[in-house]
Structure 1
Amino acid sequence: MEGIERGNQIESKSETTPVKKKRRTRKVRKYPTCSFEDALALAKAIQKNSGNQKIRRITLFDLISKASESGPSRTWVTNAAKYGLISGSSSSEFLQLTDLGHKVTSDDFSEYEKAKAAISLAVLDVETFNYLYEHFKGNKLPQHAVLIDALEDQEVDSEDRAAVVDTFIVNIEQVGLLKTLSGAQRLIEVDHALEGLSTDGAIQRSTSLPAATGQDYSGIITSGNSYYDSVCFYVTPIGEDGSEQRKHSDLFLGSIIEPAIEQLGLKVVRADGIETPGLITNQVIEYILNARLVVVDLSFSNPNVFYELALRHAARLPTVQVIRKGDKIPFDISQFRTLVLDCTDIYSLVPMLETYKAEVATAARKSIEDCDSLDNPLTSVYPNLRLTK
């Protein structure tokens, strides 16, 4: 009886002892989650405001009109540090450019030195990107799925692999390690990429990468509708059947936009693909103001497209702008990022398809995940402008 009683006592005690819950651990990624160009914008802001000297993190973000403690700002700092552009973290009191970060953002170095530093920071010094580069160097750019499979043995979460591949492709294209040779995009040697660049003194021009500017926004409007939250609306000049505009729109939709966006789990819808009955103008506006993402094709300078883009800008929702090479971007939006896609002929387009898809997917991810950091003509002038329903 005594043994039974003891057993019961022990059992009773175990029943009343609270079970400790396992603490949730934050996922730590060794690789950046944005393109080198996006991270470089923060380094350029440091260069502009403090040169090669350290600067208080809070002061820096105040100077560029962003909230230092916001999620996007902290992620921005983390990514810049992962690229080796800066020393310091999202919780550091001070931030400072590294030697390579200073070199790539300063005009005191030659074109050759800046390009070499950019290659190191964007690709060679990032373990995951360097692995892909060394694995495929000297060959044609593989299909997206092949690059994803190559990460199988790397410490990259399966759900992150598509984004990592997109970022890798964008980076090697931006720093000159991806070139079109003999009708195909190829990963070239570093020495090849640096050939012909000036080694004489400081360069007299700035890079084409944008400086860090913008406003701190108060939030993102969401549709509150599960259907729209899974939709990317494609705003484009459609034209009549058989017209140049229709052929262009079909080509961009089927070969670039859909393959790029569908990997994000979104369904791409164009105005002529809206299935529900109703007045088309009203339906288009519903999609513009509610879709999770909108991709706007500025080709052909179509006035309806610009009207719809203005509505999306007013809503301050995730937007990606694209345009075919050769068409002029209007002045009012020329200061804001637009992806230029060369479809001059089949020989220009086909070799670049994988790169264009990666650029669109990368821009879409950034727009969705960090919408507050993206400026447009309306929010630049009226940062507190909001639409209400």
Structure 2
Amino acid sequence: QNAGKKCTEKEAAGFIGLGSPIGAFRLEISSGLKFGLLDRPSTGKIAITELVKKILRPQDLNDEIEGLREAVLKAPDISNVYNHYRGENLPDDKFFENTLVDNFRIPQEKIKDFKTIFIETLEKAKLIEEHNGKRRVIDFSKGGEPGVDSTARLKKIGKDISIGADDSCFVMMPFAKPHDNYYSSIYEPAIKKAGLKPIRADHEIFGSGKIMDQVWSGIKAAKVLVAELTTKNPNVFYELGLA
């Protein structure tokens, strides 16, 4: 009703049908200021921010989603939990609730409400998706695009990569079983199918000379690197650090 112009709190209350800015309304104003949705352009006045305009009156296809995602990062508790889980699956309810209480100090009596608000907020901002029966939190700092799922993003990235006949993929993984079987039955065929030459230290470059010098040469020469981190092998972490 005010076309986004600045106004007093009393005027704002009137726009939504309240006679005066009562306690609950003042709390909403305080939250809006805290989360970057409102500001005070002058004493006694409030106004919506550019972030709100971006969400409510988008000028571009992605404005609304980008605005909602920016708002997520401005909400203290929600942003903290989002940053903790981004790029990962949310744990089962029991473990999720324990983490909220122990790590983020969300009061036990507020857990149910917080979980509902958190999930709905991420859904609205398209920051959560179903992934193998789990809810996965999208890390949009790594190229998450509005309305584009993970599989589509990978396909898009793949189209932008050119593979030459001599390009290699260096595999960093433990030498012991069962990883030998993984390499021959999973990694090697998949790498060859992608048009790359699979290289693994003990298979292809183990010979005369210092092994780490050869590993370093293999890493530098590779077009793609693959690291098997499941068993937290220290040698693999060292090679990954070199990369």
Normalization by structure 1: what TM-score? 0.34
Q: Which amino acid aligns with 1:64?
A: I
Choose 1 or 2 for highest CA Rg.
Answer: 2
Shift of 1:110: 0.9
CA distance in 1, matches of 2:98, 2:34: 23
Match for residue 49 of structure 1? 2
- What does residue 62 of structure 2 align with? 112
Q: CA offsets per residue over residues 211-233 of structure 1, 9 Å max, x none?
A: xxxxxxxxxxxxxxxxxxxxxxx
- Aligned residue pairs, count: 144
Is 2:96 the partner of 1:96? no
Post-superposition offset of 1:116: 0.8
8 A contact 1:132–1:147 mirrored in 2: no
Q: Distance in 1 between matches of 2:47 and 2:61?
A: 23
Q: How far off its partner does 1:177 sit?
A: 0.6
Residue aligning to 1:142: 91
Question: In structure 1, what is the Cα distance between the partners aligned to 2:133 and 2:96?
Answer: 20
Alpha-carbon distance, 1:128 to partner: 1.6
Q: Is it true that 1:65 corresponds to 2:17 in the alignment? A: yes
- Distance in 1, matches of 2:2 and 2:114, equals 31
Determine helix, strand or coil for the equivalent of 2:62: helix
Task: Give the Å deviation of 1:176.
Answer: 0.6
Specify the alignment match of 1:179 in structure 2.
Answer: 129
Structure 2 regions of 5+ residues with no counterpart?
149-243
Measure, in 2, the Cα distance between the counterparts of 1:163 and 1:83: 18
1:133 to 72, 77, 82: 82
Q: Secondary structure at the match of 2:112?
A: helix
Contact 2:39 2:49 in 1 (8 A): yes
Amino acid at match of 2:39: S
**RMSD, matched Cα:** 2.5
Tell me the SS of whatever aligns to 1:96: strand
Q: Where does the alignment leave 5 or more consecutive residues of structure 1 unmatched? A: 1-47, 197-389
Q: Is the 8 A contact 1:144 1:165 kept in 2?
A: no
Q: Considering Cα pairs closer than 8 Å and 6+ residues apart, tell me whether 1 or 2 has the greater RCO.
A: 1
Deviation of residue 59 (structure 1)? Answer: 1.3
Q: Detail structure 1 runs of 4+ shifted over 4 Å in the superposition.
A: none
Deviation of the 1:102 alpha carbon: 2.2
Measured in 2, the distance between the counterparts of 1:84 and 1:174 equals 18
Q: By how many angstroms is 1:153 displaced?
A: 3.1
Contact 2:126 2:147 survives alignment (8 Å):
no
Residue 111 (structure 1) shift: 2.4
1:87 aligns with 2:39: yes
Match of 1:160 in 2: 110
Q: SS at the partner of 2:144?
A: helix
Q: Deviations over 1:196-246 (max 9, x none)?
A: 5xxxxxxxxxxxxxxxxxxxxxxxxxxxxxxxxxxxxxxxxxxxxxxxxxx
Instruction: Tell me which amino acid in the other structure corresponds to 1:154.
Output: F
Q: What is the alpha-carbon distance in structure 2 between the residues aligned to residue 189 and residue 68 of structure 1?
A: 42
Superposed displacement of residue 166, structure 1: 2.4
Q: CA contact under 8 A between 2:81 and 2:104: conserved in structure 1?
A: no
Residues of 2 paired with 1:99 and 1:115: CA distance? 14
Distance 1:155 1:84 in 2: 23
The offset of 1:105, in angstroms, is 1.8
CA distance in 1 between partners of 2:23 and 2:94 (Å): 31
Letter in 2 for 1:68: S
**Native 8 Å contact 2:37 2:49 kept in 1:** yes
The Cα shift of 1:195 comes to 5.1
Structure 1 residues 164 and 179: CA distance shift in structure 2, 3 A: same
CA contact (8 A) 2:87 2:137 kept: yes
Q: Rate the CA distance shift 1:184–1:153 in 2: closer, same or farther, 3 A.
A: closer
